[in-house]
Amino acid sequence: MKKFKTVFNQVKSLEGAEAPDMNSLLWQLICYSPKMPVRLQQQQLLDEAHQFTLEVDDPHFAKSALKFNGFIWGEGNRKIMITHGWGSKAADFAELIAALKNIDGVRIIAFDTPGNGSSEGELSNLLLFAKAAEAVIKTYGAPDVIIGHSLGSMANAMAIKETGAKPDLLISIAPLTNLKENFIASLNAADVAQTAQDNFFADFEEKFDMNASGFAFNNLYPAGSISRHWLAYDPEDRVAPFPFLNAVLTAHPEVETKVYEGRGHERIIKDETVIADIISLIA
Q: Answer yes or no: do 149 and 202 share one domain.
A: no
Q: Answer yes or no: do 171 and 250 share one domain.
A: yes
Q: What is the pTM of this model?
A: 0.97
Q: Answer yes or no: do 13 and 45 share one domain.
A: no
* Other CB atoms within 10 Å distance of the CB of residue 45: 22
pLDDT of amino acid 2? 83
Q: Answer yes or no: do 115 and 250 share one domain.
A: yes
Q: Evaluate if residue 19 carries a pLDDT over 90.
A: no
User: What tens digit of pLDDT does each residue of 237-275 get?
Assistant: 999 999 999 999 999 999 999 999 999 999 999 999 999
pLDDT of amino acid 18? 83
Q: Answer yes or no: do 7 and 114 share one domain.
A: no
* Domain assignment of residue 187, given as a range: 1-32+179-214
170 strand-pairing partners = 146, 229
Domain ends where: 191, 214, 237?
214
User: What tens digit of pLDDT does each residue of 150-188 get?
Assistant: 999 999 999 999 999 999 999 999 999 999 999 999 999
Q: Answer yes or no: do 128 and 143 share one domain.
A: yes
Q: Answer yes or no: do 159 and 191 share one domain.
A: no
User: CA 168, CA 124: separation in Å to the nearest integer?
Assistant: 29
- Provide the domain count of the chain: 2
Beta pairing class for 229-233 and 169-173? parallel
Dihedral angle computed from the Cα positions of residues 212, 216, 220 and 226, in that order, rounded to the nearest 10 degrees: 160
Q: Answer yes or no: do 8 and 109 share one domain.
A: no
User: What tens digit of pLDDT does each residue of 20-72 get?
Assistant: 899 999 999 999 999 999 999 999 999 999 999 999 999 999 999 999 999 99
Q: Evaluate if residue 17 carries a pLDDT over 90.
A: no
User: What tens digit of pLDDT does each residue of 86-96 get?
Assistant: 999 999 999 99
Terminal-to-terminal C-alpha distance of the chain: 36
User: CA 42, CA 202: separation in Å to the nearest integer?
Assistant: 40
* Other CB atoms within 10 Å distance of the CB of residue 71: 23
Q: Answer yes or no: do 156 and 251 share one domain.
A: yes
CA atoms within 13 A on the CB side of 271: 20
CATH of the domain at 106: 3.40.50.1820
Which one, of 82, 255, 238, lies nearest residue 174 by Cα?
238
User: CA 82, CA 244: separation in Å to the nearest integer?
Assistant: 23
Average pLDDT over all residues of the chain: 96
Q: Answer yes or no: do 83 and 209 share one domain.
A: no
Q: Could you please report the per-residue DSSP string of the chain?
A: -HHHHHHHHHHHHTTT---TTHHHHHHHHHHPPP--PPPHHHHHHHHHSEEEEEEEEETTTT-EEEEEEEEEE---SEEEEEE--TT--GGGGHHHHHHHTTSTTEEEEEEPPTTSTTSS-SS--HHHHHHHHHHHHHHH---SEEEEETHHHHHHHHHHHHH----SEEEEES---BHHHHHHHHHHHTT--HHHHHHHHHHHHHHHTS-GGG-BHHHH--TTS-S-EEEEE-TT-SSS-HHHHHHHHHH-TTSEEEE-TT--SSGGGG-HHHHHHHHHHH-
